[in-house]
Amino acid sequence: MYDPSRPRVVIAGGNFAGLETAVRLPAHFRVTVVDPRLSFEFTPNIHELVSGCKQPEQLRLNKEQILGRCGHDFFQDTATTIDPKNSRLTTASGVSFGYDACVVAIGGINNPGAVKDPNQLLMPFKAIRDCQAIGIRLRQLAGKGDPVRLVIVGGGLEGIESLGEVLRAYRHKADVAVNLIESEKALLPSAPRVVDSEIRRICEDQPVTFHFNERLTRASKTRITLGSGTQLPSDLIIWTGGIIAPPELSAWGLKKEDDPWAPVHNTLQSRYFENVFVAGDAAMLPEPISKQAYHGLDMGRHTAQNLKRLFSGEPLLPFAPSGKPMVLSFGDLDTFMIRGDRVLAGTALAAAKEAVYQYVMAHFDPARRTGYVASTLQRAAVGGIHLTSTHLKSFDSILRLGKIRIL
Ligand SMILES: Cc1cc2nc3c(=O)[nH]c(=O)nc-3n(C[C@H](O)[C@H](O)[C@H](O)COP(=O)(O)OP(=O)(O)OC[C@H]3O[C@@H](n4cnc5c(N)ncnc54)[C@H](O)[C@@H]3O)c2cc1C
pLDDT by residue (tens digit) across 193-237? 999 999 999 999 999 999 999 999 999 999 999 999 999 999 999
Instruction: Give the residue, by CA position, lying nearest to ligand 1 atom 53.
Output: 126
Question: How far is Cα 404 from Cα 41, in angstroms, rounded to an integer?
Answer: 30
Q: What is the dihedral of CA 353, 358, 359, 365, to 10 degrees?
A: 150
Out of 3.40.50.720, 3.30.1440.10, 3.20.20.140, 3.50.50.60, select the CATH number for domain 122-239: 3.50.50.60
The number of the ligand 1 atom at minimal distance from the alpha carbon of 280 is: 26
Residues in contact with ligand 1 (CB, 6 Å cut-off): 12-18, 34-37, 43-44, 46, 78-79, 105-107, 125-126, 157-158, 246, 248, 280-282, 291-294, 296
pLDDT band at 241 (very low <50, low <70, confident <90, very high): confident
Is residue 369 very low, low, confident or very high in pLDDT (cuts 50, 70, 90)? Answer: very low
Q: Does the structure show a pLDDT above 90 at 37?
A: yes
Q: Is 378 a residue whose pLDDT tops 70?
A: no
Stretch 84-113: mean pLDDT, rounded? 96
Instruction: Report, as an integer, the average pLDDT of 391-401.
Output: 54
CA 46 to ligand 1: nearest atom = 1
pLDDT at 385 over 50: no
Residue of 292, 354, 361 to test ligand 1 pocket, by largest number of atoms within 8 Å of CB: 292
Pick the CATH number of 8-108+245-311 from 3.50.50.60, 3.40.50.720, 3.20.20.190, 3.90.1150.10: 3.50.50.60
Which protein residue's CA is at the shortest distance from atom 4 of ligand 1? 44
Pocket test for ligand 1, best of 15, 96, 356 (most atoms within 8 A of CB): 15
pLDDT at 5: 85
CATH 3.50.50.60 placement within the chain: 8-108+245-311, 122-239
pLDDT at 392 over 70: no
Determine the residue of 19, 24, 43 to mutate for testing ligand 1's pocket, defined as the one with the most ligand atoms within 8 A of the Cβ atom: 43
pTM beyond 0.85: the answer is yes
pLDDT at position 91 is: 98
- Amino acid 292 reads Q
Report CA(316)–ligand 1 centroid distance (Å): 26
